[in-house]
Amino acid sequence: MLSSCGCTNITPYPKSEYKEEFWSQSKDPTIDKANLKMLYEFRYLPLEPRDSKSLENTENSENLEESTFWNSFRNALIVNKRGQDRKTRILSIIADQFTYKQLRKNFSPNAIELARKYSRLYGPGAPQVECPKKSVQRMDEIKEIQFLSFFQDKNNVVQSSYQVDAKADVSILYMQDQKEALWTKFN
């Protein structure tokens, strides 16, 4: 009857699954059909199944959707070109939304802990705070010679007889009269 009035069937699923049907009277129903298909795939259409077999199919489709989600998420982590830190950032988005048990099925315990820690420190999916880069410049030879001559001069430095630096295995040097000399010089 509807087709004789110029309507087109735009139902995005087989008629055997649900009772509802969708029809359009527009000249180009492809846009309407695409919109309905998208709403159907995202489960925004409240539909009533025809029988219990359809209910089982919907449960299977939910399991399929869940496995598709985890597979897609895992592939996104594998394909990520930015390295381990970016993978942790991606995983931190969902790390607090799922239980440890659910995440453990799909990820290693170390990855889960790193993602949860990242989420607590920077926020879920937030970029990591960049620390300022340190630039180390070598001292000019003239300055280095002056530095060494100053610290080798016994008028400026006293060598400790009982304390040794553990890393360099060199005795520790102390400045001579540093407080008194500075006090008289600047006061």
Per-residue pLDDT for the chain (187 aa), expressed as one digit of tens each?
A: 667 777 888 887 777 777 778 888 888 888 888 887 887 777 777 776 666 454 455 556 566 667 776 676 666 666 555 555 566 777 777 777 777 887 787 778 888 888 888 888 888 777 777 778 888 888 889 998 988 888 888 887 888 878 888 888 888 888 776 667 666 765 6
Give the whole-angstrom CA distance, residue 76 versus residue 72.
6
Alpha helices in the chain (DSSP H): 30-41, 52-79, 84-95, 100-104, 109-122, 141-152, 178-186
pLDDT (tens digit per residue) in 23-32: 888 888 888 8
Please report where in the chains the tokens 């995440």 appear, as a residue. Answer: 103
Closest CA to 111 of 149, 73, 84: 84
Give the mean pLDDT of the chain.
75
Query: Would you state the pLDDT for residue 109?
Result: 84
Closest CA to 11 of 19, 132, 86: 19
pTM over 0.75: no
